[in-house]
Amino acid sequence: MVQIIKDMDELKTFLKAAGCKLVVVEFSAKWCGPCQRIYPLVHELAQTYHIKAVPTFQMFKQAQKGSISKPGPTSELHPHQEWALDSNQAN
């Protein structure tokens, strides 16, 4: 499901309503030069690999933002990152 959020109040309401579901948020803008420049490549990759959104993602669960300190083995994951590993089991 894609939801366009226009302000902070709408984002807070959406995150609260999502409850335990994982929410992925992409931040971009029409005026963003880098976003416009990478669009053709992203569009091609999205079709090939079924990618839904870039360039910036933040993941939320129960209205709390997760984080990644650095790429590495799963033992270095912050608790919220484990959602991605368990996404096929959880709602």
In three-state secondary structure terms, 64 is strand
E-strand spans in the chain? 23-27, 56-61, 64-65
Could you tell me which residue, 52 or 77, shows the higher pLDDT?
Answer: 52
Could you tell me which residue, 2 or 87, shows the higher pLDDT?
Answer: 2
pLDDT at 29: 76
Which residue of the set 24, 32, 45, 51 is catalytic?
32
> Per residue in 14-65, pLDDT tens?
999 999 888 877 777 788 898 788 777 767 766 775 556 555 455 677 887 6
CA distance 79 to 65: 10
Active site residue 32: yes
Task: Write the DSSP string, 26-48.
Answer: EE--TT-HHHHHHHHHHHHHHHH
The answer to pTM > 0.85 is no
Which residue of the set 35, 42, 46, 84 is catalytic?
35
Active site residue 35: yes
